[in-house]
Amino acid sequence: MNLEQQKSIIEANKQKIQAIQSQIQQQADYQKDFYENVVKPQNRNFEQSIDNMLLEIQDQSSKKEDTKLQQQYKYDLLLLISEMKQIYDYNQAISNQIMQAKQISTDNLKQANEQLKLMQKLKQK
* pLDDT tens figures, 17-45: 788 878 877 877 787 788 788 877 877 77
Checking if the pLDDT of 14 tops 70, the result is yes
> Is the distance from CB of 28 to CB of 99 less than 8 angstroms?
no
Cα atoms found within 13 Å of the Cα of residue 107, Cβ hemisphere only:
6
Question: Is 39 within 8 Å of 92 (Cβ atoms)?
Answer: no
CA dihedral 40→42→48→54, nearest 10 degrees, is: -130
> Is residue 6 predicted with pLDDT exceeding 80?
no
pTM, full prediction: 0.44
* Predicted local confidence at residue 63, as pLDDT: 63
Amino acid found at 54? L
Least Cα distance to 109 among 9, 27, 32 occurs for 27
